Amino acid sequence: MTGTRIVGQAKRIGLVWLLAIFALTACEPVEQEGPPKTGAAAFYDGRIIKWIIPYSPGGGYDEYGRMIAPFLEKYTGARVDILNLPGAGGMRGVNELFNSADDGLTIGTMNGSALVMNELAGMRGADYKVTEFEYLGRVVADARVFVISLDSGYTSFEDIWRKGKEVKIGATGLGGSTYVDAVIVNEALDMELDIIHGFDSSSVVRQAMLRGNIVGTWGSWGSALDAVDEGRDKIILQSGKQRAPDLPDVPTAFEMAAKTRNPERAMAILNAWESLHAVGRPVAVPPGTNPERVAFLSEALDSALHDPELLAIAKSTGRPINHASAEGMRQIVTEATEMRDDIRQLFVRAIQGEL
């Protein structure tokens, strides 16, 4: 036997041994960290969860979803894919969620107050029932603020209140939160501000403020923050029964209610308004989803929203977390939808543009 043949046989024998060792190793069980997953945890391990965001990429809802998704993956063992479904003021995405399979693999974020109001008013396209969703929790409930341009010449809410119809306030379309905020507070506080609606978006409203076409607008504290920090705008009124820690010098609408001709009615309207805004930005799954999976996802979302790393990211990006549990959300939604009849009719008229 030549040296070349001997070397070739040796290589073949070595390869056989390597393959045999590999096969034996592959048959050995792989040690897992911790006990094996069971129940809902086993179901979600390695699966894909579709997260519906009912607005376009780049907006606040989208940014929250993409910020939270990696942490939801961490606590579920699943991959989370964001699906943006804008349209109909957020109703398209919510309708999609409501009618999705109830297997627990589709979740969605909602603009809670707008969807409750649209359902109350029987708005066309609201093909869902807010109380029938299975809620996993709430990400945040932004304080609502009345903001004015510093170039407007006004400095306080009392200045605005006294001027009445001379003051032009901008808002988006009928049913939008900026419009409903404006007309509801107008009604509650006996004001006569000139509310100009129909702007395409809140950013267009702010452009009108910069041009001096309007004095101010309603919006979330988060959306107003940049212009306030840059010294262009000023917050003169806020929602909430107590002043927010970040806005200790800004009066609340509830404080102003005592100065109206009918404080009792003003407080009733503002209480309903506050209940609607408490719904905030909840995360939910379709009706009928398996209770064990709902509980697992609720716990995972809770863990994600309390993760120190996520909270640090949220703070650095100006995206506050104001978590409410699944149980808390059910109570919040009940309070938001169970208005006394006269207040309900007032909100319906506001949504439909009759105020």
Give the 3-state DSSP-derived string for the chain, with helices as H, strands as E and coil as C.
Answer: CCHHHHHHHHHHHHHHHHHHHHHHHHHCCCCCCCCCCCHHHHHHCCCEEEEEECCCCCCHHHHHHHHHHHHHHHHHCCEEEEEECCCHHHHHHHHHHHCCCCCCCEEEECCHHHHHHHHHCCCCCCCCCHHHCEEEEECCCCCEEEEEEHHHCCCCHHHHHHHHHHCEEECCCCCCHHHHHHHHHHHHCCCCCEEECCCCCHHHHHHHHHHCCCCEEEEEHHHHHHHHHCCCEEEEEECCCCCCCCCCCCCEHHHHHCCCCCHHHHHHHHHHHHHHHHHCCEEEECCCCCHHHHHHHHHHHHHHHCCHHHHHHHHHHCCCCCCECHHHHHHHHHHHHCCCHHHHHHHHHHHCCCC
And the tokens for 273?
């308004």
- What pLDDT is recorded for position 338? 84
Q: What's the CATH fold of domain 44-141+280-350?
A: D-Maltodextrin-Binding Protein; domain 2 (3.40.190)
CATH assignment of 144-276, among 3.40.930.10, 3.40.50.620, 3.40.190.10, 3.40.50.720: 3.40.190.10
- What pLDDT is recorded for position 269? 94
Supply the pTM of this predicted model. 0.76
**134, 102 Cβ separation under 8 angstroms:** no
- What pLDDT is recorded for position 260? 93
The residue extents of the domains of the chain are 44-141+280-350, 144-276
- What pLDDT is recorded for position 34? 59
Question: Among 12-21, 49-58, 208-217, 256-265, which is the least confidently predicted range?
Answer: 12-21
For 124-161, write each residue's pLDDT tens digit: 778 898 989 999 999 998 889 999 999 999 999 999 98
Is 44-141+280-350's fold the same as 144-276's? yes
Q: CA–CA separation, 115 vs 333, rounded Å?
A: 11
Over 50: is that where the pLDDT of 75 sits?
yes
Name the pLDDT band for 56 (thresholds 50, 70, 90): confident
User: 250 or 114: whose pLDDT is higher?
Assistant: 250
Q: Which of 83-97, 195-209, 276-290 has the highest average model confidence (pLDDT)?
A: 276-290
Name 169's bridge partners.
Answer: 195, 216
Q: CA–CA separation, 156 vs 348, rounded Å?
A: 30
And the tokens for 330?
């059910």
Burial of 15 (0-12, 13-18, 19+ CB in 10 A): exposed
Over 70: is that where the pLDDT of 175 sits?
no
107-123 burial, b at 16+ Cβ within 10 Å, e below that, comes to bbbbbbbbbbbbbbbeb
